[in-house]
Amino acid sequence: MKNNRVIISGGGTAGHIFPAISIAEELNSSGKIYNILFVGAKKRMEMQKVPLAGYKIKGIWIDGFQRSFTIRNFMFPFKLGISLVHSLFILLKFKPKFVIGTGGFASGPLLFAASILRIPTLIHEQNSFPGITNRMLSKLVDKICVSYDGMESYFPNKKIVKTGNPIRKYLYEKTNKIKAIKYFDLDPKKKTVLIVGGSLGAEPINKVISNKILNFSNYQIIWQTGKYNYKKYKELASNYKNVNVYEFIEKMNYAYSAADIIISRAGALAIAEICFLQKPAILVPSPYVSENHQMKNAEALVSKQACILIEEHKLEINLLESVNKILENTKYRQRLASNAKSLSFNNSSSKIVKELNNLIYDKR
């Protein structure tokens, strides 16, 4: 029987997990039957999200190196060594045809071990400034799929293929706006603001929204807060008929369809979805991510006049003015949406699978 076993590794945040799941879905829709195993970090988000998508996952004992001084950093070399041995064991037992990494610290030891065993490897980098894991792996892996121009500054040019960011498959299915408005029990006559701070939420954005909530009375809000302080914001919103609060929105296709504007962090996945769905957006890059890569993601859109960028420390002052500027000016709103759409990629997952097939062919 042909070896159609595949390992996909990546996680920590939705920005690494959902592209990995999208690639798995594309593999399974390609006409072949694949036996797909995910490898993630124990106690991280992927250990819940991947099984919900219908895939098996194994956890390894790995954690990121913290930029600030913490006792956890003393454990890092030990965890890394254990994770590398565990990764070798998983690879030798499962015997994958190829291994895919989508970023996050779990993919480091797994892809490193795969390269030692000479298993064909591909990594996908979502951001305009690559994470340290992918930068380190770039010298070892066979192929690197990217979403932005200029990545030869960080990766070997001969390995780079521009594919774009895979988005969640169900977002390709267009959802009727009227149906989406009804789903959230909203008023079809009012403009809708969607607020998302990433899969884990964004407390600085949440605080500003809670302070400004009275100023949004002309609009209606779909607000994903994340799990931290969700109950507090839910209780606050109970006093306002125009505000719907969620810890996590499962039906993002409905949320995007209902929205006239999106306020979001500048994670690569969020940007890919905003551009694909042609939505005007205010991006608030997180200053807490490694190498300030969200700022670089957002600046790539600003350079094409495809979004408004507000730095987090200016959010309190500039947010409401920017929301009004977009929602009260139809031509400006349409221009932002059109420019965003021009930056989107179609069928990124299928392009990555094509590169995998080319890689296997070249390795014969």
Mean pLDDT within 51-78: 74
Instruction: For residue 3, count other CB atoms closer than 10 A to its CB.
Output: 10
Per-residue pLDDT, 1: 42
Q: In what order do the strands lie in the sheet with 192-196?
A: 243-246, 220-224, 192-196, 261-264, 281-283, 308-309
For residue range 92-138, what is the model confidence (pLDDT) as tens digits? 999 999 999 999 888 999 999 999 999 999 999 999 889 888 999 99
DSSP secondary structure string, 217-259?
TTSEEEEE--STTHHHHHHHHTT-TTEEEESS-S-HHHHHHH-
Per-residue pLDDT, 313: 96
For residue range 328-358, what is the model confidence (pLDDT) as tens digits? 999 999 999 999 999 998 889 999 999 998 9
| Integer Cα distance of 185 and 244 in angstroms | 9
**How many CA atoms lie within 13 Å of 133's alpha carbon, on the beta-carbon side?**
28
The structure tokens 């929205």 sit at: 259
| Integer Cα distance of 289 and 206 in angstroms | 18
Per-residue pLDDT, 265: 95
3-state secondary structure (DSSP) of residue 82: helix
**How high is the mean pLDDT of the chain?**
91
- Where do runs of H (alpha helix) occur along 56-118? 72-94, 107-116
Strand pairing category for 192-196 and 121-124: unpaired
Residues 37 and 5: beta-carbon distance below 8 Å: yes
For residue range 6-40, what is the model confidence (pLDDT) as tens digits? 999 998 888 899 999 999 999 998 778 899 999 99
DSSP assigned state of 279 = -
